[in-house]
């Protein structure tokens, strides 16, 4: 740390992203990326937009903005596009939490929530998951502050029903409930249709997973126009051109290729469910994940040991060295070939 780093941030522990190693070619199942390339329409649109990079983007991203609003049956002023969904989540912490209004989220969830809270000097309460790793809805209802719920949750993959989301929304109409739907396209129930019913609901989405565009950094939030208006105030006070022109064009390209996205989601769900079956045969225990990832443990081999043995075999997964999930690994669902290689490697590992 330099002597110039302000006290305001000197104790901040930043988020640790999953490894992006370059030392050798791994089967990369550690960061929940899509195993498929972006839609050809997205690639062509980004290439075309590259020819106009001398210009700033339209800060409203009108074409993509309208396409996303139409996709959800919402008005454009109910949508805000951001640089990945990480950005809209940070905006939500900035806009809807402060010293008097803490953030509330489960103790095991997306690791960035606590970082955003600390970055913005927001106190936060972590509500322990129940023993079966499900989110404790009753405790969240009782807690006071802005709720942040990943649905499906990460890294467990377990999802709340829409009924449970409604219970959270109704528990206190005077607080915002942020539902992070990064993984909803792989089997969860979306809360987007509730936007017109609840003025305290913000749903965040990403193009990083089901739309194969993690490198483009494109996400968005939907909510009533007042909430989106607040988030726009934050956007225009930090970075009006928060999405680059090539990513916005690519986003429009993939929105025009919904069949491609749907097909890829179907394949991931199929690969996830067959991997679950194969891994159960090897004695692995797992959550009923509805994400594009598995969350598995073996009764005889520790989580760290499984992680290291897979790494030695050229397969990268994500291990969180944290109670109560240190026995587990989170494994992104890849292609059928990648999953076959994973199952073969794990069969060797549990035999040793
Ligand atoms: N929410 C959850 C639950 C995530 O796991 C992630 C990233 N993996 C994000 C949000 C952020 O994704 P992005 O910024 O790529 O949209």
Q: Between 138 and 352, name the one with better pLDDT.
A: 138
Percent of all residues in the chain with a pLDDT value above 90, rounded to a whole number: 96
State which residues form the domain around 268: 17-37+259-351
> Same domain for 163 and 26?
no
For residue 343, what is the domain's CATH number?
A: 3.90.1150.10
- What is the pLDDT averaged over residues 261-269? 98
How far from 202 is each of 91, 154, 174, 178, 221, CA to CA, in Å? 11, 18, 13, 5, 7
**Alpha-carbon span 159 to 156, nearest angstrom:** 9
- What is the pLDDT averaged over residues 56-73? 97
Out of 226, 256, 286, pick the residue that ends a domain: 256
Does residue 84 have its Cβ closer than 6 Å to ligand 1?
yes
- Taking the alpha carbons of 269, 270, 272, 277 in that order, is the dihedral positive or negative? positive
> Same domain for 202 and 317?
no
89 CA: nearest ligand 1 atom = 10
In a domain, 137, yes or no: yes
Separation of 351 CA from ligand 1 center, angstroms?
35
Question: In the numeric block, which tokens belong to residue 63?
Answer: 């074409």
- What is the pLDDT averaged over residues 61-89? 98
Does residue 182 have its Cβ closer than 6 Å to ligand 1?
yes
Of the pLDDT bands very low, low, confident and very high (cuts 50, 70, 90), residue 139 is: very high
* pLDDT score of 17: 87
> Same domain for 105 and 141?
yes
* pLDDT score of 19: 80
> Same domain for 88 and 209?
yes
Separation of 85 CA from ligand 1 center, angstroms?
6
Out of 223, 256, 289, pick the residue that ends a domain: 256
Out of 256, 280, 300, pick the residue that ends a domain: 256
For residue 73, what is the domain's CATH number?
A: 3.40.640.10
- What is the pLDDT averaged over residues 232-260? 98
In a domain, 301, yes or no: yes
Q: What is the pTM of this model?
A: 0.97
**Alpha-carbon span 171 to 158, nearest angstrom:** 21
Per the structure, how many domains does the chain have? 2
Separation of 278 CA from ligand 1 center, angstroms?
28
* Residue range 6-39, pLDDT digits in tens: 999 998 999 988 888 877 789 999 999 999 999 9
**Alpha-carbon span 80 to 88, nearest angstrom:** 8
* pLDDT score of 94: 98
In a domain, 95, yes or no: yes
Determine the residue of 30, 90, 206, 215 to mutate for testing ligand 1's pocket, defined as the one with the most ligand atoms within 8 A of the Cβ atom.
Answer: 206
Q: Among 187, 190, 219, which Cα is nearest to 90's?
A: 219
């Amino acid at each position: 740390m330099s002597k110039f780093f302000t006290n305001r941030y000197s104790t901040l522990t930043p988020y640790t992203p999953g490894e992006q190693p370059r030392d050798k070619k791994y089967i990369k199942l550690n960061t929940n990326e899509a195993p498929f390339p972006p839609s050809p329409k997205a690639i062509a649109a980004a290439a075309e937009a590259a020819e106009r990079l001398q210009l700033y983007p339209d800060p409203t991203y009108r074409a993509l903005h309208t396409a996303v609003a139409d996709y959800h049956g919402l008005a454009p002023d109910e949508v805000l596009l951001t640089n990945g969904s990480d950005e809209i989540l940070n905006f939500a912490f900035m806009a809807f939490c402060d010293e008097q209004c803490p953030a509330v989220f489960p103790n095991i969830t997306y690791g960035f929530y606590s970082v955003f809270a600390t970055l913005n000097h927001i106190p936060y309460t972590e509500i322990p998951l129940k023993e079966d790793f499900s989110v404790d809805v009753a405790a969240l209802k009782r807690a006071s502050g802005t709720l942040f719920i990943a649905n499906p949750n990460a890294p467990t993959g377990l999802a709340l029903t829409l009924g449970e989301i409604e219970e959270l929304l109704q528990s206190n109409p005077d607080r915002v409930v942020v539902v992070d739907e990064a993984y909803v396209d792989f089997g969860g129930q979306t809360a987007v249709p509730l936007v017109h019913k609840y003025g305290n609901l913000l749903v965040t989405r990403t193009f990083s997973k089901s739309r194969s565009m993690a490198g483009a950094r494109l996400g968005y939030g939907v909510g009533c126009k007042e909430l989106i208006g607040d988030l726009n105030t934050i956007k225009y006070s930090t970075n009006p051109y928060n999405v680059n022109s090539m990513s916005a064009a690519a986003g429009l390209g993939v929105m025009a290729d919904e069949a491609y996205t749907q097909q890829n989601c179907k394949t991931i769900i199929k690969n996830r469910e067959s991997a679950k079956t194969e891994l159960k045969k090897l004695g692995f225990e797992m959550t009923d994940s509805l994400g594009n990832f598995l969350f598995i443990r073996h009764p005889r081999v520790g989580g760290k040991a499984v992680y290291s043995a897979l790494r030695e075999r050229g397969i990268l997964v994500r291990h969180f060295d944290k109670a109560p999930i240190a026995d587990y690994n989170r494994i992104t669902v890849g292609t059928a070939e990648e999953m076959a290689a994973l199952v073969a490697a794990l069969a060797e590992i549990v035999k040793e």
